[in-house]
Structure 1
Amino acid sequence: MKKFLACITMAASVIASGNVLAHGDKPKHGGIVQSANDLSFEMVNKDNATLIYVEDHGKKLSTAGAAGKLTLLNGAEKSELPLEPAGENMLAAKGDTKLAKGTKAIASITFANKETVNVRFAVR
């Protein structure tokens, strides 16, 4: 009986704390959201242009002075595109980027404070 009550209590606490434990955010721009180094990144592909939005616990994180590269892996094909600031909390890949189903993307971003973050995305 004690084991049964312990299981019920544990299950209830997991269910109740589900929202608190979740770190991933919902897409705000219709893209793919991933977390890395306690930051949230949303990759959006529209009209063959790829943008990455950056947030720190729900607040926009400035990308001024940031730079990086976006590596796209699609089967045996590999391409690398530079990332440059394109707005308050946004980086844009320079060049046409069509993200097909199954494409894997790795963004390597160095912020103005010299902190580098690598974040991986998978297009489904």
Structure 2
Amino acid sequence: MKLKRFWATAALLATLGTAMAAQEHEHGHGHEPMHGGVVVEASDMDFELVAKADVVTLYLRDHGKPAITKGGSGKITLLSGSDKTEATLVPAGDNKLEAKGSFKVASGTKAVAMVTLPGKKAINVRFALK
């Protein structure tokens, strides 16, 4: 009896896992980096942070499709050890916001971005660089 219940539960979990994977693929909710950065999901959108010493770029996807950033804005705060750097993010293409400057972006750096897109509430996104 216990063995039947075990196999029934295992079959149910396998079915659910397959269905969830299919739904994720179907709706474009994969959270893989497309630009070599760190991806975080917030407010049903994917945010990919690509941080370099001279530029910080935030790519936005809405349900797997590039999000329109025209008219949007943001602010990013980078915390690297005891150093804190803030920068303004501005639209820099169809689906990205960008800040240029001098940034400390070592492994372990934490980043907090506040993004505002036209017609939407501000979104707070947190990252940890690898």
Q: 1:55 — aligned with what?
A: 61
CA RMSD across the alignment: 1.8
Q: TM-score, normalised by structure 1?
A: 0.88
1:11 and 1:99 map into 2 onto residues whose CA distance is 40
Amino acid in structure 2 at the alignment position of 1:4: F
1:99 and 1:21 map into 2 onto residues whose CA distance is 35
Q: 2:7 — aligned with what?
A: 5
TM-superposed CA distance for 1:113, in Å, is 1.6
Consecutive unaligned residues of structure 2, counting only runs of 5 or more, are: none
| 1:17 alignment partner, SS class | helix
Higher relative helix content = 2
Q: 1:123 — aligned with what?
A: 129
1:13 and 1:103 map into 2 onto residues whose CA distance is 39
Residues 6-15 or 64-73, more deviating: 6-15
TM-superposed CA distance for 1:91, in Å, is 0.3
Matched-pair identity in %: 45
Q: 1:93 — aligned with what?
A: 99
TM-superposed CA distance for 1:88, in Å, is 0.8
Contact 1:24 1:34 in 2 (8 A): no
Consecutive unaligned residues of structure 1, counting only runs of 5 or more, are: none
Q: TM-score, normalised by structure 2?
A: 0.84
| 1:7 alignment partner, SS class | helix
Corresponding pairs, count: 124
Higher relative strand content = 1
